[in-house]
Structure formats: structure tokens, C-alpha cells
């Protein structure tokens, strides 16, 4: 039972117990949870990513090499519960691998809180090696109690070349300690393990960097581009970083498409320097039109849910169309069709909304397959229209699987010109004529625990958010869709301006 539960859940359970039960739980849990399983690796990887401990960009490492990613476990000290969880994983690894020790030694600085956490939880004494000898007092280089021939286990956060460990081990050995093992969180898959082995140190670790990246990719946290860049690296250790190729401009992408709506949208985006879609999810018709009039000059498209509008009328549509031509934006109806072809046709052309008559773009779920597109195409003959297929959703715990997303991508690629792209959370298609639209976007702000580096946050009904910069630069999407962060803002004009600037810059940079 405990193997399948996340450690956090168990810690919560433990914390809610009486003192006596608590001790029993800790013993029981630690006894059984002594191996690192795939679920644990996933938990660690996603949590490290969530707290911002895995960064993407261009980083010069201690060894002088440039790497397109950086692992910063110093942040762990800001997340004590997770620090403790991770330290527990490491301790279980130590047990599972039957490592013997008298003392443990964390390598300064990042591994010190990890070693301390293990020490406190397991009542294991620690020592620590100073970088420079203290000039006053005892003038010791190694702090903490130990005897000659004590066995010392090294604790480290990340290993690339293994040199930090080897340097410390030399001094510890000179002072009479025996060192045969080192335990660390991530193997960056450089030549660290080889170097440690040739220095008589056996390596034990929780995760390889390639496993971590694969988990992030499979869970939609990094785009195929970033993943491929990583996979192409020599030994994944950052020795030969591949510089991502420059993206085509939107105008260039428009030229690659045969769809008139894509061409128009791409031109608008470059003319207005805005790859921002405003999601006008406002029920009050007058407020909606006022807001669209205010933000219209700064967006490439306005997205509606007409079925939430009180007092919907043809007059409303006429006013919206007038604003669209005045401020030069397209209109998208986010209908998310999901019925059989025949019903979908009736819904698109008829009823009180007559969507085909005024919406340049309409959204449709991918689950119906190619008949949905046939039905929409049939209705829109003689008009310049396009649709977007929903391949991924921003809400948490949704049922769209990777296979589903892949099928939708295949459908788009096989569907010809009527489909202009995808609603998704990251770049999924290489063909530049298809555009990726990503909702679930919010400006960065001080969030949980006051830490700005948390990328993902949510509303109280499961909507999960990323920052615009993350969506365009890291997830490599093309266009952001933003609703509440604009229309609920105290200053919608400032919000829309900032959002468009950040997302257009992220694309063009
Ligand atoms: O996965 C999705 C797909 C869409 S189209 N997640 C979404 O949130 N959307 C839409 O984007 C949603 O219907 C809403 O209109 C908008 C997001 O609104 P916000 O207020 O959370 O920015």
C-alpha cells in the first residue's frame, strides 16, 4: 500500500496521528518503502520542476561548459516538506543498497540541508568539511565528531564530473575517514560515475537526468524541441548544446499556409506585435463590448463563449464585428463542438447563434475524428473560415491522454487546409503552417509561499496556469489565450499591454 502512495500523503497521515501511532507509522513506512520506484521518480521530477529547480535556457556550469538546462537544488531549503520527502527517498536508497556508515557528510552547500534532514530524521551524526580552515577558535577543517577509521557516507545533490565529491573525499581520507560510497539525487550523466568509481567511490543515485527529462516530456512539461535538444546532447551533460533554430516570423508562417484565416491572423499578429487572444468570458453584454473596445487594439483575436452571454442578440454580433474591423482582430467562437457530424453541422450553421456567419475561427474537440472537420467544411463553403482542434486541455486531472493528443495531431496533419492548428499546452506539430494556441495563462506574480519561481498555479475549479513567457519560450507554443487575467484585472489595459509585450517578445526572441 505504501509503495503506491506518494510519500507526501504518508507524511500527512503521519502528521495527523497521535505521538505513539506516529512513531509506529514512521517505522512501518520506512521499513517497507525502501526502493525507488517509477512513481517515486515521477513524483520527484514533477515536484522539482514545479518548484523551479529545473531551469531551461543557456547556463555556464562550474566546469565551464554551457548547458541548455540547469538544476538548482538550492531551492529545496525553501520547501521544507519536499526537502524532507526527498531526503527520505535518499535514505531509503541508502537502506536498499545496504550501505554501511558511521557518519554522513553533505558536500557544501546544496547537499547540507539534505544531509541535515536525513540526520535529524534518522538520528545519524553528520560531519561537514569546510572549504577553508577557520582562522580562529579550533581552526578545524572538518566539523563534527568522528574517529579514525569511521566510515563516512557522502551525500550530494547533483553529480556531473564528480569532482566536488572527489576533492572533499581526498581531505576526509587524509583525516582518517574511510569513504567507499556516495549517495546523490541526480546523475547528470557526465563522466561523474566513472570518475567516482576510479577513485574508489561507489555511486548511488535516485534519478538519471535522462529519466527526469523523459518524465517532464511525457507529462507535457517540456516541448518536443527542448526534449530533442536535450536528447541530442553528448551524454546529456551539456557538452554540446544545440542552439535552437530561429523561429519563422508569423508573416512567414502565414505564407506557408493555404488557409486564408491563418494568413490574416499571422499578418495581424506581426502588424500589431501581439500573439495574444483575449478570452471575453463576460456574461454581461455591455461590459463585454466595453472590455473588447478597450483591449481590442492590443490583441490579434477575441474569443467568445456566446452561450454564456445574457441577452444574446444579432445586434450584439453586429457590434462585435464592428469592433473587430475597427481594431483589426479576428473573432473565435470557443464552441468546442463534440457531437456527430450531422448535429455539429446544425449547431454550426443554425440555432440562435448561427456561428458560421460571424466567427472566423471555431474550436472543436478531436474525439469525433475527421467527420467533424467534414461537417464544418460543408457548412462554411463560400466563406473564409477555419477551425482549431483541441488536443490538450489546461484543466487539471482531465482525461486526455498522450495517445489521444497524438491522434489529434495526426488528424490535423491529414486534414488539409480548413484546420489552422491546435488548442494545446505546448508545441506539438513541426509544420509551420499550423498554429498552437495555449490557454491557462497568467502573468507571473508572487504566489504560493511568496515564491515567484513557481510556474504553475491554479484557480479554485481546476484551471491550471502557466506564465506567458513559459508558454511561448519554453513550451514553444505560438499564441496565448487569456481571459480573467485581463478582464478581472484592476487595470485591464495595463494587463493586456504587458501580456502582449511579454508573449510577442518571447516569440521573436
Ligand atoms: O484547455 C483549455 C481550452 C480552452 S479553449 N482551457 C481553457 O481554459 N480554454 C478556454 O480558455 C476556456 O474556455 C476559457 O475561455 C479560457 C481561459 O480563461 P481564463 O480566465 O482561465 O484565462
Q: What is the pLDDT of residues 365-424, one digit of tens each?
A: 999 999 999 999 999 999 999 999 999 999 888 898 878 998 999 999 999 899 999 999
Domains 4-231 and 250-508 share a fold: no
Out of 336, 354, 377, 505, pick the active-site residue: 336
Q: Cell 489565450 belongs to which residue? A: 481
Closest C-alpha residue for ligand 1 atom 7 = 439
Taking alpha carbons only, the member of 189, 198, 265, 201 closest to residue 234 is 189
Convert the pLDDT of each residue in 216-248 to its tens digit: 988 888 888 788 778 777 555 444 334 445 789
Task: State the Cα–Cα distance between residues 502 and 274, nearest whole angstrom.
Answer: 9
Max mean pLDDT range (35-39, 259-263, 391-395): 259-263
Q: Whose CA is nearest to atom 22 of ligand 1?
A: 483
State the chain's mean pLDDT as an integer. Answer: 86
CB of 162 within 6 A of ligand 1: the answer is no
For residue 105, give the 3-state DSSP assignment. strand
Is 345 catalytic? The answer is no
CB–CB of 263/255 below 8 Å? yes
Q: Which residues contact 270 (CB under 8 A, 6 or more apart)?
A: 249, 250, 251
Q: How much is the average pLDDT of 183-205?
A: 89
- The verdict on the CB of residue 302 being under 6 Å from ligand 1 is no
In whole angstroms, what is the distance from residue 208 CA to residue 229 CA? 17
| Cα separations in angstroms, 15 against 4, 20, 26, 404 | 19, 11, 10, 39
Q: Which pLDDT does position 19 carry in this prediction?
A: 45
Model pLDDT for residues 429-488, shown as the tens digit of each residue: 989 999 999 999 998 764 333 344 444 467 889 888 888 988 898 788 999 999 999 999
Rounded average pLDDT over 335-339:
98
Of all protein residues, the one whose alpha carbon is nearest to atom 13 of ligand 1 is: 334
What are the domain boundaries of the chain? Answer: 4-231, 250-508
d(CA 353, CA 306): 7
CA quadruple 190, 207, 151, 129: dihedral sign: positive
Ligand 1 atom at shortest distance from the alpha carbon of 463: 21
Q: 451 CA to middle of ligand 1, Å?
A: 25
Using the mean position of ligand 1's atoms as its centre, give its distance from the Cα of residue 477 in Å.
15
| CATH of segment(s) 4-231 | 3.40.50.2020
Q: Is the minimum distance from the CB of 281 to ligand 1 under 6 angstroms?
A: yes
CA–centroid distance, residue 169 to ligand 1 (Å): 54
CA–chain centroid gap for 216, Å, is: 7
Mean pLDDT of 19-46: 61
Q: Is 393 in the pocket of ligand 1 (CB under 6 A)?
A: yes
- Note the pLDDT of residue 20: 44
Predicted pLDDT at 245: 57
CATH says 250-508 is which class?
alpha beta
Amino acid at each position: 500500500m505504501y509503495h503506491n502512495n506518494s510519500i507526501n500523503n504518508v507524511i500527512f497521515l503521519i502528521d495527523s496521528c497521535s505521538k505513539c501511532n506516529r512513531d509506529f507509522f514512521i517505522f512501518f513506512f520506512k521499513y517497507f518503502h525502501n526502493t525507488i520506484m517509477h512513481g517515486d521518480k515521477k513524483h520527484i521530477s514533477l515536484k522539482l520542476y514545479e518548484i523551479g529547480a529545473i531551469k531551461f535556457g543557456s547556463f555556464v556550469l562550474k566546469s565551464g561548459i554551457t548547458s541548455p538546462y540547469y538544476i538548482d537544488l538550492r531551492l529545496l531549503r525553501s520547501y521544507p516538506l519536499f526537502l524532507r520527502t526527498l531526503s527520505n527517498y535518499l535514505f531509503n536508497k541508502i537502506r536498499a543498497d545496504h550501505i554501511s556508515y558511521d557518519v554522513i557528510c553533505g558536500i557544501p552547500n546544496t547537499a547540507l540541508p539534505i544531509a541535515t534532514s536525513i540526520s535529524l530524521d534518522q538520528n545519524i551524526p553528520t560531519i561537514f568539511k569546510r572549504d577553508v580552515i577557520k582562522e580562529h577558535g579550533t581552526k578545524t577543517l572538518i566539523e563534527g565528531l568522528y574517529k579514525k577509521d569511521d566510515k563516512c557516507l557522502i551525500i550530494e545533490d547533483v553529480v556531473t564530473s564528480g569532482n566536488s565529491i572527489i576533492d572533499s573525499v581526498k581531505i576526509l581520507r587524509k583525516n582518517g575517514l574511510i569513504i567507499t560510497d556516495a549517495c546523490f539525487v541526480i546523475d547528470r550523466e557526465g563522466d561523474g560515475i566513472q570518475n567516482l568509481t576510479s577513485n574508489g567511490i561507489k555511486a548511488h543515485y535516485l534519478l538519471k537526468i535522462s529519466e527526469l527529462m523523459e518524465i517532464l516530456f511525457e507529462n507535457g512539461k517540456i516541448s518536443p524541441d527542448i526534449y530533442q535538444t536535450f536528447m541530442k546532447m553528448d551524454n546529456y551533460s551539456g557538452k554540446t548544446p544545440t542552439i535552437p533554430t530561429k523561429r519563422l516570423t508569423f508573416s512567414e508562417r502565414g505564407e506557408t499556409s493555404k488557409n486564408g484565416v491563418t494568413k490574416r491572423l499571422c499578418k495581424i499578429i506581426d502588424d500589431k506585435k501581439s500573439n495574444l487572444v483575449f478570452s471575453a468570458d463576460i456574461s454581461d453584454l455591455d461590459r463585454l463590448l466595453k472590455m473588447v473596445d478597450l483591449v481590442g487594439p492590443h490583441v490579434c483575436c477575441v474569443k467568445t463563449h456566446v452561450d454564456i452571454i445574457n441577452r444574446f442578440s444579432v445586434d450584439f454580433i453586429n457590434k462585435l464585428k464592428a469592433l473587430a474591423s475597427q481594431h483589426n482582430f479576428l473573432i473565435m467562437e470557443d464552441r468546442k463542438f463534440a457531437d456527430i457530424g450531422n448535429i455539429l453541422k446544425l449547431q454550426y450553421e443554425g440555432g440562435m447563434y448561427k456561428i458560421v456567419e460571424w466567427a472566423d475561427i471555431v474550436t472543436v474537440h478531436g474525439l469525433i475524428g475527421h467527420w467533424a472537420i467534414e461537417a464544418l467544411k460543408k457548412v462554411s463553403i463560400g466563406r473564409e473560415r477555419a477551425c482549431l482542434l483541441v488536443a490538450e486541455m489546461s484543466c487539471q486531472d482531465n482525461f486526455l491522454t498522450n495517445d489521444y493528443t497524438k491522434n489529434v495531431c495526426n488528424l490535423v496533419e491529414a486534414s488539409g487546409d480548413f484546420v489552422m492548428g491546435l488548442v494545446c499546452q505546448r508545441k506539438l506539430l513541426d509544420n509551420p503552417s499550423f498554429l498552437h494556441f495555449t490557454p491557462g495563462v497568467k502573468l507571473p506574480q508572487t504566489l504560493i509561499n511568496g515564491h515567484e519561481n513557481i510556474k504553475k498555479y491554479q484557480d479554485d475549479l481546476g484551471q491550471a496556469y502557466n506564465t506567458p513567457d513559459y508558454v511561448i519560450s519554453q513550451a514553444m507554443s505560438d499564441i496565448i489565450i487569456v481571459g480573467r487575467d485581463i478582464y478581472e484585472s484592476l487595470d485591464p489595459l495595463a494587463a493586456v499591454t504587458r501580456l502582449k509585450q511579454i508573449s510577442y517578445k518571447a516569440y521573436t526572441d
